[in-house]
Structure formats: structure tokens, C-alpha cells
């Protein structure tokens, strides 16, 4: 999935990275019951148990089955259940009915993971370079599913009238609202964007290529809950002139009046999170807003969303390891928090750019070539990672993508303007 081959990790380092990624996924589901891990809250989300099994199927299929002589599948029924969208791998269970799979149980899925982990680690010393590259891909793939597991679990728990907390976090006093937005100016220039290094990247991040930037400025922070509440109070969801036609139709059809998980109680806004329902922190970044909402807010503010090239050019000077991201399992607390001008962490930032291939893009051969390329239609690019993104997973060139109405991820807004 890289734009160019990367130097191979030492086998011991790769084994340690693999074990760490797999352990974090299991730590994320430690508080869950079998029922918690089985239920599916909507078609876009998947049960936690499915994420556990799918990431394991990926490793078993593309590494153990294809590179380890004599390996026998743990259960020949599992490929049908846990393939996601790989047409080249044959028939699969309907995505919308993943929540109906009550068997295998959570314990049986964890046993499946243990079997595959042991087999892969035993085979790793003798695996060829191509297979070790797939182990690296499998680690990055699982990190994507760690974030999906968290956001899917949040959506699931929000459907429960009890609004249970999964992780009990210490109640924090809201911090002072940040000052006015500052603007980082960008000159008119031809700049290089896209991945150009020697470490791992996904295929959609390249090839690196030249693009023209017009004079512009990009905000030095994201929009806060307090600023979004002002948008609502000013009739932001009731004034069609701020909305794209499709977005306005979505607002009217779905009765949208606030970010996902927001609710008014006694005249004050609250939000639901994995730590239960709490008052919104007016200084924290707003999250769980769609592209339509982000674009409408930008219109209301008299500016626009950044292009992904503008975002990448500005973010290149910032540390991808900075900001509020998902850390070690002992410190899991995925919620946005004010952290200063970092371009990474807290919330995925909508851009105004469609998710389309870069000049010269070619999907790689084989089933794993279906990873990104076939989704380059009707979706928009998000940048920067979120509080649920494992630290070290993203970089300035990383391209996330969702449909414009989707908002169950930790998605927020950074503004831009023309100069």
C-alpha cells in the first residue's frame, strides 16, 4: 500500500510492533460484554466483535494463507463472515447484518485472534519481504479499525436510553475559551504535496506531485463548541442560504439541528461521549459534524474550508505526534480537548477537496489494491487525525475520507480564506 518500497523493519521490531497493536485492540474491548461487542447500531458501523475478527481475517488471509506453506484456516466459515469489501476474495456476509452474528462469541473471536497471532509470530522469521510488508500494512489497517471500533461503540452506546459510560473519566472544569482565531498566511506558489518519504504510507497518499496554491490563509485552530453554539443560536440550521443544496435537503429530511450527540437539557447544551453525558465544554473543539455542516458554518462565518493541499502545506511544519491522540491502553480517554495550535489530533478536519486520485495514481495489483482506490467517488477528504486515532498513525500526507452526510467519526472544522 506504499507509493515506494520502505526499508524493512528488523524482524524483532516488527514483531514487537505487531504485538503492541494487537494488544491495544484487545484492551479497547476489555470493558465490553459479549452483547456490547455483538450489536450493530447502523449500517455504517460494525460490531466490536466484527472489528476484532476482520483485522484477524486480513492477517490470516493475506499473510498466513498466501505465504505460509501448510497453514490451515482456523475456521473455514470465517472468511465469509469477516471479509469486508474485497470482491477478489469472494462472497461475504452483508455489511448491514453484521450485528446478527451472535456466534462465534466474543471469547471465540478472541481465541481466533490468539491462534492467528501465534501462527504469524512463529512464521515471521522466515517470511519474505513481500509478506513482511503486509504485516506492516496489517498493523496500520488494525489501527484504522481501532478508531472505527471506538466511534462505532460510541454510536452504539448513544442508542441506549441509559446512556452508559464505557470509560469513566474524571470530570474536568471547562477551560477558558481560546482567543480569536489567528491566520497562517500562504503565498501563491507551486508546492509539492503527497507522500514522498521512505516509511509506510497508504497508496492514496501518492504519488507526490506539484500543485498550485493561490494566496490564502488557514486558521491556527479548530472551531470550538462555544463558537458552534453561537452558530446554532444565530439560526445556522434554519437559514438555507448557508447550505449546499444537498446539505439543506439532508438537514430538512433528517431534522438536523445540532452536532451528533448534542442535546439541550434545561436550556443548556450537553453532549454524549464514552464517558457518559456531560455539559459541552465551550472551549473544546466541536466534533461529530458532517461536511455539510462544516461547509455551512464556513459560509456563515464568511470564509470557506481549506483545500487539502492548503492544509498539508500548513501542517508540514507541525509534529504528527503532537496533539491529543489515542495513546497507550492505560490512558484511553478518547474525547476532544483544547490543546493549542497543533494540526494533529482532537478532530478530523474536513477539507473542501473531493477524495479523488492524485495524478499518476495506480492501485496495486491483487485484492489489497481494493483498499482505497475504488472509494474515490462522492467522498470528501479529512486531515489530521482525532482523539481516537492511535498516536503515530497519521502524517501530513494522510488522507481520510467520508461521505458528506456522515458524522459519527470525530470530525470537526478548521477554516480558511482567500487573500
Per-residue pLDDT reduced to its tens digit, 338-389: 656 689 999 999 999 999 999 999 887 766 665 666 888 999 999 999 999 9
3-state secondary structure at position 240: helix
pTM: 0.94
- What is the distance between the alpha carbons of residues 372 and 44, in angstroms, rounded to a whole number? 17
Q: Is the pLDDT of residue 2 over 90?
A: no
Give the pLDDT band of residue 333 (cuts 50, 70, 90): low
- What is the distance between the alpha carbons of residues 33 and 37, in angstroms, rounded to a whole number? 6
User: To the nearest whole percent, how much of the chain has pLDDT over 70?
Assistant: 91
What are the two backbone dihedrals, phi and then psi, of residue 209, each rounded to the nearest 5 degrees? -155, 165
Question: Is the four-CA dihedral 389, 394, 397, 400 of positive or negative sign?
Answer: negative
- The overall average pLDDT reported for the chain is 92
237-266 average pLDDT score = 97
70-75 average pLDDT score = 97
- What is the distance between the alpha carbons of residues 116 and 55, in angstroms, rounded to a whole number? 10
HEC string for 332-367: CCCCCCCCCCCCCCCCEEEEEEECCCCCCCCCCCCH
Q: What pLDDT sits at residue 79?
A: 94
34-47 average pLDDT score = 97
20-41 average pLDDT score = 96
The helix (H) or strand (E) run that includes residue 218 is: strand 216-219
**Environment class of residue 10 by beta-carbon count within 10 Å: exposed (0-12), middle (13-18) or buried (19+)?**
exposed
- What is the distance between the alpha carbons of residues 207 and 228, in angstroms, rounded to a whole number? 37
- What is the distance between the alpha carbons of residues 310 and 172, in angstroms, rounded to a whole number? 34
User: Whose grid coordinates read 504485538?
Assistant: 19
Q: What pLDDT sits at residue 160?
A: 97
What are the two backbone dihedrals, phi and then psi, of residue 353, each rounded to the nearest 5 degrees? -100, 135
- What is the distance between the alpha carbons of residues 112 and 79, in angstroms, rounded to a whole number? 12
Q: Is the pLDDT of residue 23 over 50?
A: yes
Q: Is the pLDDT of residue 206 over 60?
A: yes
| Nearest Cα to Cα of residue 376 among 349, 341, 403, 348 | 403
Per-residue pLDDT reduced to its tens digit, 282-306: 999 999 999 999 999 999 999 999 9
Q: What pLDDT sits at residue 179?
A: 86
3-state secondary structure at position 127: coil
Per-residue pLDDT reduced to its tens digit, 123-180: 999 999 999 999 999 999 999 999 999 999 999 999 999 999 998 766 555 566 788 9
Angle, CA of 343, 20 and 388, to the nearest 5°:
35
Q: Is the pLDDT of residue 34 over 70?
A: yes
Residue that wins the pLDDT comparison between 327 and 265 = 265
3-state secondary structure at position 161: coil
Amino acid at each position: 500500500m506504499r507509493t515506494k518500497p520502505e526499508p524493512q523493519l528488523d524482524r524483532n521490531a516488527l514483531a514487537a510492533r505487531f504485538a503492541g497493536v494487537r494488544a491495544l485492540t484487545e484492551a479497547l474491548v476489555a470493558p465490553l460484554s459479549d452483547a456490547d461487542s455483538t450489536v450493530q447500531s447502523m449500517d455504517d458501523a460494525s460490531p466490536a466483535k466484527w472489528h476484532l475478527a476482520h483485522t484477524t481475517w486480513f492477517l490470516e488471509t493475506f499473510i498466513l494463507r498466501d505465504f505460509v506453506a501448510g497453514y490451515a484456516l482456523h475456521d473455514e466459515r470465517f472468511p465469509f463472515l469477516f471479509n469486508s469489501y474485497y470482491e477478489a476474495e469472494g462472497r461475504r456476509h452483508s455489511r448491514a447484518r453484521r450485528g446478527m452474528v451472535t456466534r462465534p462469541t466474543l471469547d471465540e473471536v478472541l481465541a481466533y485472534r490468539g491462534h492467528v497471532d501465534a501462527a504469524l509470530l512463529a512464521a515471521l522469521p522466515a517470511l519474505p519481504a513481500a509478506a513482511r510488508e503486509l504485516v506492516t500494512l496489517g498493523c496500520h489497517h488494525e489501527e484504522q479499525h481501532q478508531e472505527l471500533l471506538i466511534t462505532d461503540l460510541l454510536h452504539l452506546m448513544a442508542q441506549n436510553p441509559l446512556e452508559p459510560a464505557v470509560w469513566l473519566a474524571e470530570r474536568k472544569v471547562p477551560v477558558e475559551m481560546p482567543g480569536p482565531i489567528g491566520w497562517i498566511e500562504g503565498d501563491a506558489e507551486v508546492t509539492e504535496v503527497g507522500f514522498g518519504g521512505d516509511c509506510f504510507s497508504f497508496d492514496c497518499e501518492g504519488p507526490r506531485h506539484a500543485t498550485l496554491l493561490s494566496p490564502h490563509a488557514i486558521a491556527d485552530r479548530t472551531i470550538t463548541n462555544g463558537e458552534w453554539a453561537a452558530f446554532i443560536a444565530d439560526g445556522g440550521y434554519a437559514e438555507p442560504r448557508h447550505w449546499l443544496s444537498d446539505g439543506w435537503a439532508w438537514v430538512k429530511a433528517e431534522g438536523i439541528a445540532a452536532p451528533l450527540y448534542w442535546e439541550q437539557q434545561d436550556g443548556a447544551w450537553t453532549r454524549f461521549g464514552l464517558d457518559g453525558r456531560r455539559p459541552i465544554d465551550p472551549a473544546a473543539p466541536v466534533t461529530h459534524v458532517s461536511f455539510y455542516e462544516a461547509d455551512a458554518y464556513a459560509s456563515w462565518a464568511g470564509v470557506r474550508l481549506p483545500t487539502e493541499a492548503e492544509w498539508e502545506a500548513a501542517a508540514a511544519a507541525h509534529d504528527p505526534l503532537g496533539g491529543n491522540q489515542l495513546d497507550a491502553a492505560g490512558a484511553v480517554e478518547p474525547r476532544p480537548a483544547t490543546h493549542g495550535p497543533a494540526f494533529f489530533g482532537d478532530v478530523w478536519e474536513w477539507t473542501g477537496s473531493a477524495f479523488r486520485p492524485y495524478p499518476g495514481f495506480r492501485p496495486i495489483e491483487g485484492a489489497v489494491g481494493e483498499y482505497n482506490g475504488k472509494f474515490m467517488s462522492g467522498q470528501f477528504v479529512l486531515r489530521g487525525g482525532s482523539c481516537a486515532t492511535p498516536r503515530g498513525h497519521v502524517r501530513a500526507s494522510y488522507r481520510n475520507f467520508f461521505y458528506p452526510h456522515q458524522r459519527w467519526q470525530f470530525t470537526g472544522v478548521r477554516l480558511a480564506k482567500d487573500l
